[in-house]
Structure 1
């Protein structure tokens, strides 16, 4: 890479780390930049996944206060994130690069609709919840949904956080900021397990990985500092706005 390209990759990593911590879709910033440096799509995807791991961990640490009291939920649902991440990483290397091109914008669009109507839906779901466990953990529906979302996250990860937020917002009785904290943990799990898988079986660019890792770690802290100041209404509007931008980018 030229010095200019290295700076662009680092800057993209900072932006992606900050956006991923608050909402998600940071891959839509880093991925095109990596392609512009001459990397192939699969190598760019793998390098991006490896590089974003520190950013995911940084964001989760930044939101550690909001994680208080959610250990049981994270351990239970984290199993699905782990299994889904491994499956998605395997699919990335096994399927054609264009396999999810048509379904991804649909998934993101559906997630945005859920975000918009989440207050109404979540009230009705909680009224019908059979017991306190379902309200605390979302029941089998949330576990299944997060596992499938993690399969997608291990495959590509763009807008993965938005899908997580829509599912948890609909099925859990928690403030959005606490859901953002949990989302960051699950994204870190998926990115980490996919990264470990890629280290042994895929080609990646170490320069890109290091630059994105450094940038995303810094961005994760920035995102956590700024993001927790947003009100639920502002946070929801930000999620929808970034999601719409993500759909436009994915349809190009």
Structure 2
């Protein structure tokens, strides 16, 4: 059975005290009621300066896991202002988001660079959450599937079978991020099923059946249950709603 995952991407938000308070509130709300067998794995991804402090607050052996929003492609060196995968692992990170649409757009990260980051993250023992997704222009041109297939092929499918088994994929319809728009459950399912089909072609049917594919396009407490009910949607990469503990926990409970 595939791992169900809800990951909160806090982006460049909050102050350190606010981040610690949000962590406490999420933890408390999750502890209020029994999780049940459908409890997904939960990842919180704070900004770099907050990682160690947030990580120390996560209950050991609990449902919450620590992730980062990015890492550099080199393990160390003269790269002022950057953060390496081994650094992230050393403060307790288990996951790292790579290839987020905002990194691709604002920082010009391409699939060749992301391929290097994947290798570095995996070597440090991190599990990458690798993002793919199309713009509104690409969707309206009816080029969604060719575009995503290329992102997968160029950025991800160079990994070995063993490496790929450590990866989580996130589908981000860029036109639905921060816009209030959301792909319909049918649209999300269609693309998730396509991604799974591409994995089967590049690797094996077992790999395709095992990989967790998350939806990352403005999922919220109101639409999460329907989205997560689709057969190929294994959870969500949550942006704005992850900054409000009641909303984030409601999304987690949608399973």
Q: TM-score, normalised by structure 1?
A: 0.28
Query: Which structure carries more strand by proportion?
Result: 2
Q: TM-score, normalised by structure 2?
A: 0.28
Query: Which structure carries more helix by proportion?
Result: 1
